[in-house]
Structure 1
Amino acid sequence: MHSHTRRALFSVTVFLATCALLGSLINRNVAAQSATDESTLRDDLHDFTNVYALVEQNYAEKLDGDKVDKAIYDGAIPAMLHVLDPHSNFYDPKAFAQMREDQHGKYYGVGMSIQPQPDPTAKNGMKIVVLAPFEGTPSYRAGIRPGDVIVAIDGKSTTGMDSVMVASLLKGPKGTHVSVTMQREGSPKPLVFDLTRDEIPRYSVDLAFMIRPGIGYIHITNFMETTSREVGDALDKFGDIHGLVIDLRGNPGGLLNEAVNTADKFLQKGQIVVSQHGRAFPDQVYRVGHGEQGPHFPIVVLVNRNTASAAEIVSGALQDHDRALIVGETTFGKGLVQTVFQTSDNTGLALTTYHYYTPSGRLIQRNYDHVSLYDYYYVRDDVPTNNADREVKLTDSGRTVYGGGGITPDEKIAQPQANTFQDNMLRNYAFFNFTRSYLANRAITRDFTVDDAVMQQFKNFLKSQQIDYTDADLNSNLDWVKSNIKAEIFTSQFGQLEGLKVRAEWDPQIAKALTFLPEAQALADRSVKADQKTTASLTQ
């Protein structure tokens, strides 16, 4: 048996042994595993190795190292876990390292987001383009711009590379140098940048600003080790506000403790944020440790169908305690908690160990029985259309809320649907590429607006690139077009943060969410009265 095969089978054996260990933990109230259980495990391992040996000996093609890894890491182990539930998962060494990096909220590199774009002259038909340098990073300080094409790294051509390969070459130990060669529109020859790698923070609060006078806006992309601190910093920066919109759209979740610490900033000391119930470990109840500081302002939380897990914990806690008005779409519905166990060779097992419940006692997990993994994540036909069969619970002030199938918003805001014209503009990178052309020989000031002259230049650009459109298309999507042009130009001229602000200020869902602040104020008043009533009953 080849050494690579032995290593693969060893990995599987360690993995299954880890599962057996977890099983013994789950059944730790029993003095010891029965002999029957141990015999069954040995038989299962023996069956697996026999099947693998048959595959290795008789498969039509030779199983090289990559195919072995793929069969084990992408096939056998994930398939076993997904039989249990959609969220238990196995991480191979590369994925495990990436997960840890994402949780820490930092990495070492040069600080830029990149993306492959079509290029008929390239070997693989693609080129690697800089979307934006992150502000304050080596790339930003060196003057790298959105639209720059990465043609070489340390003298090695990027032809044929994908964005993952390019990103891995740009990363490296802090203080080391990397030479990046860029092709820039309007520049007669390539530009070479000597960059010194540094610690690159990944902010989970990528945007926090006063979206209206006295009204703060915070967008949280995920929950990692720095999230609650970032939210606290944003609130401190806002100062005395009289309203807040928290945007959790597309937030996939993250670290449970950071969700609890974030909710802590808006609830009262002692209130329950979330509770966990499982079979392997004691039940846990997470309560507010410090509580809201400063004035009691109204809060609107904006969610959508891709708001999940830790983000649902926050929105569910604020809804159950009547602290925020939840608006948008019904959320994803992930009420399962995974514990990450490190196994061999820097691999990891994320195993579901708990169900979590909101303060009112809701389990918001969607049904996944007899549902394919693809349908569970992407089709979502099981999103509740009525509440007749759903679990009914009450908030602190007596409002009705429902369990199962995600967090139901108090007020619905539909997701705007893109049309054919919009899809065509984005598919052809029309706004991004127009910005490169527009700023090639000019600079703008912050009072820039997309006027008729800019629109005419945009039309000319579309024609030069043979991107189909009609005047009727432009006129019926004029606000959307102008917003995208301005956002891309501001990103290139002033940095990614300013581009995000432009998009938020135009966003129709955010604009609608702001109109619900009076209802959020009434809800905030109700929550204060409910807290006072609870306090009074406890002191009697």
Structure 2
Amino acid sequence: MSTRTRRTFFSLIVFFSACCLGGMLVSQQVGAQSSTDESSFRDSLKSFSNVYDVIAQNYAEPLTGDMPDKVIYDGAIPGMLRTLDPHSNFYDPKAYARMREDQHGKYYGVGMVIQPQNGKIVVVYPFENTPSYRAKIHPGDIIIAVDGKPTANLGSDAVANMLKGPKGTHVQVTVTREGAASPLTFDLIRDEIPHPSIDLKYEIRPGVGYIHITQFQETTGREFDDAVASFGDLKGLVLDLRNNPGGLLTEAVSVCDRLLKRDQIIVSQRGRAYPEQVYRATHGNGGENFPIVVLVNRGTASAAEIVSGALQDHDRALIVGETTFGKGLVQTVYQLSDNTGLALTTYHYYTPSGRLIQRNYNGVSLYDYYYNHDHPTDLKDREVRLTDSGRTVYGGGGITPDYKAEAPKSNHFEDLLLAHYAFTHFAPHYLVNHTVTKDFQVDDAVMSDFKQFLGSQNVAYSDQDINSSLDWIRTNIKAELFTIVFGQTNGIEVRADWDPMIQQALTYLPAASQLEQTALKADAEKEAALSKTPVGH
């Protein structure tokens, strides 16, 4: 067995032993682990060792290079965890580093989003107030070299790693740009790149705030407090949690703490190894009440469902959209050797009314669980609970919205335009001979230019195709142009102003205000009844 193979196999033994030891330590709280269990574990580990030895000695190709790591990191360990549940997960060193980076909400680099398009690495947009933004790198620029090394045949992860580095170090980025006669080279100085979890917050209507949280990371609670404070005297709030996959529980609790009354329950955790833990609002909203509509969809999961469920159960917000993903399993992340990590399901979480919102995953493939999940349509089979004011809510399959609102379905022509990156490529083409100001509108002249551009790109279309998607096309053209000229926040805002689901959410603010008044009245009646209750001596 080679040194590399021995090291990888030893890592696996350490991993299994750590899991076993963790179980033994936990068992001191929940009951002694039997000697039969320990003997069975040793037998299983020996069987695995024998299988690995046979593979290492007899496989058609020698296990050289990174193959031993792949066998363990991509095969044995993930396979074991998938027999438990869909969310327990193992992170190899690269994945673990990325996860920690996401949780921290910052990294060191130049600050741009890139993606492969037609075999090239294209800038989607630079983050505002970062080295790449200040240097005026544009969306649509094609990165052809980093520090003189060509990016041809490199993936976006490889190029992203080349752009990252210690703070204060230099990196040269060479790009080609529509309308530029020759490549442009930028000498950038790497810096700390904040990656906020709130990518858009603005006054969408007079007195009405809009906040979109992309995920829950270490900065989310503070970002949310700052966003709410920036609106001043709020008359209403649309909180957009669509496609928010979750994140840190503590930050979801922090967001709820800002909106609920002090001491109200936010979420409770129950697991085999640890006593039940109940999270409450420790600071509370200080009596600052305003109607709230929370936007959710099938991609709203985990910590985002905690927020949705808590606000719904306490009648603090109306939930609008689609039934959420249905993830009620909580993972604890353990750092292991070799900078690897284990996310192990240790708890179930429950909303304040006692709902477990985890969707059934028994007998379901991992692919279907994530991508083809269908929620129960018959609510009579769902767990029934009541909100503070007596409204019926359902558990056992995500957060069911108070009002349904589905995202508009794209048609074939819209999919075709996106597949050809039509808007990403048209915007820099248009700006070669035009200027764009804040009062810019996509008029007939702009649409004529866009049609000519589609023809030059061999994208077939008819007038019916254009007219059936006219508002959507105009929005995407304007958003891409504003992203280049004014920054990505302005581009996102253009899309939010058009978004049919956001516009629908705004119409439910009066109903959310009525719900808020009903909840306040119910609270007042409960407090009055408690004050009249005789106390025995």
* TM-score, normalisation: structure 2: 0.98
1:394 to 2:394 alignment: no
Query: Structure 2 unaligned runs (5+)?
Result: 533-537
Q: What per-residue deviation string (whole Å, max 9, x for no partner) do you get for residues 119-142 of structure 1? A: xxxxxxx11011111100000111
**How well do the aligned residues superpose, as a CA RMSD in angstroms?**
1.1
* Residue 462 (structure 1) aligned to one of 448, 454, 458: 454
1:105 aligns with 2:97: no
Match of 1:123 in 2: none
Query: Which residue of structure 2 aligns with residue 16 of structure 1?
Result: 16
Relative to structure 1, the CA distance from residue 32 to residue 398 in structure 2 (aligned partners, 3 Å threshold; closer, same or farther) is closer
Inter-partner Cα distance in structure 1 for 2:86 and 2:169: 41
Q: CA deviation at 1:450?
A: 0.3
Hey, what does 1:82 align to over in structure 2?
A: 82
Match of residue 136 from structure 2: 143
CA displacement at 1:57 relative to structure 2 = 1.2
User: For the residues of structure 2 that align with 1:24 and 1:529, how far apart are their CA atoms?
Assistant: 51
Instruction: Tell me the CA shift for residue 153 of structure 1.
Output: 0.7
How many angstroms does 1:185 deviate by? Answer: 1.4
| Preserved contact between residue 215 and residue 241 of structure 1 (Cα < 8 Å) | yes
Counterpart Cα distance in 2 of 1:390 and 1:65: 51
Distance 1:298 1:30, change over 3 A: closer
Correspondence for 1:162: 155
Give how far 1:294 is off.
5.7
Who is 1:27 aligned against? Answer: 27
1:504 to 2:496 alignment = yes
Q: Is the 8 A contact 1:25 1:280 kept in 2?
A: no
Contact 2:261 2:286 in 1 (8 A): no
What does residue 251 of structure 1 align with?
244
1:328 aligns with 2:336: no
Structure 1 pair 526/30, CA: closer, same or farther in 2 (3 Å)? closer
Residue 32 (structure 1) shift: 4.9
How many angstroms does 1:369 deviate by? Answer: 0.5
Do the aligned residues in 2 keep the contact of 1:274 with 1:287 (CA within 8 Å)?
yes
Q: What whole-Å deviation, never above 9, does each CA across 1:466-520 have from its counterpart, x for those lacking one? A: 1011000101111011011111111111000000000000000111111111110
Name the CA distance, whole Å, in 1 between partners of 2:288 and 2:249.
26
Q: What is the CA-CA distance between 1:30 and the residue it aligns to?
A: 6.3
Indicate which of 416, 424, 431 corresponds to 1:424.
416
Distance 2:25 2:369 in 1: 29
Shift of 1:537: 3.4
- SS across alignment from 2:49: helix
1:72 aligns with 2:65: no
Deviations 1:368-415 (A, max 9, x none): 00111011000113x111211111100000000011000000000012
- Structure 1's unaligned 5+ residue stretches are 119-125
Q: What amino acid is aligned across from residue 9 of structure 1 in structure 2?
A: F
2:535 corresponds in structure 1 to none
The alpha carbon displacement at 1:65 in A equals 2.7
2:280 is matched with: 287
Q: Quick check: 1:209–1:217 contact (8 Å CA) kept in 2?
A: yes
Shift of 1:442: 2.6
Secondary structure of 1:479's counterpart equals: helix
SS state of the match for residue 83, structure 2? helix
Q: 1:294 to 1:397 in 2, by over 3 A?
A: closer
CA distance in 2, matches of 1:281, 1:294: 34
Deviation at 1:184, TM superposition (A): 1.2
Equivalent residue pairs, number: 532
Aligned to 1:122: none
Quick one: which of 358, 365, 380 aligns to 1:372? 365
Identity %: 66
Structure 1 residue 314 corresponds to structure 2 residue 307: yes
CA contact (8 A) 1:322 1:395 kept: yes
The residue identity in structure 2 corresponding to 1:62 is P
Q: 2:338 aligns with which of 332, 345, 348?
A: 345
Q: Give the SS at the match of 1:65.
A: coil
What is the rounded CA distance, in whole Å, between the counterparts of 1:339 and 1:304 in structure 2?
25
Instruction: Check 1:36–1:163 CA distance in 2 against 1; reply closer, same or farther (3 A cut).
Output: same
3-state secondary structure, aligned to 1:173: coil
Which amino acid counterpart does residue 90 of structure 2 have in structure 1?
F
**Distance in 1 between the 2:287 and 2:521 partners?**
17
Deviations 1:189-212 (A, max 9, x none): 111111110000011000000111
TM-score normalised to structure 1 length: 0.97
